[in-house]
Amino acid sequence: MKSMVIGMCLAVGMLSGCVVSTMHDMRERGPKYSYVSNRAEADVAKCILFKWQDTYLAGGAVQAYLQPNRLGGTTVHTHGNEYFFDVKAVRNKAEITYYAVADNWFSRKLLQSAKGCLR
């Protein structure tokens, strides 16, 4: 019975086009959008974090987190890592890249809520 339930879940996931991607996979495919800001890396990352935490989608606040990026810089990501920004200091500017598992209303809403931080 348990294996049947797991099989059904996998089938539904494949039919709906849901594919689990890691941050590494998404970075390999390239960002959805890229920006450059005159603000400091830490300021941009914290701004995105707070904007996302103040955004309500699907009945609740977005769960957003800040972590160091193993390649340098800072990553701001959602629970599950489906949507994230990499922010890296380069020559007194912040290079910002946005990654999303899918181009959907959720992804666009997250990007829109962070737009003020990207200048």
pTM, 2 dp: 0.81
Question: pLDDT averaged over the chain?
Answer: 87
Instruction: State the Cα–Cα distance between residues 113 and 52, nearest whole angstrom.
Output: 7
- Cα gap 105→29, rounded to integer Å: 20
Q: How many residues does the chain have?
A: 119
Per residue in 65-92, pLDDT (tens digit) is: 999 999 899 999 999 999 999 999 999 9
Q: pLDDT tens across 46-61, in order?
A: 999 999 999 998 788 8
User: How far is 43 from 91, CA to CA, in rounded Å?
Assistant: 15
Determine the topology of domain 19-117 in CATH.
Answer: TATA-Binding Protein (3.30.310)
Is residue 11 over pLDDT 70? no
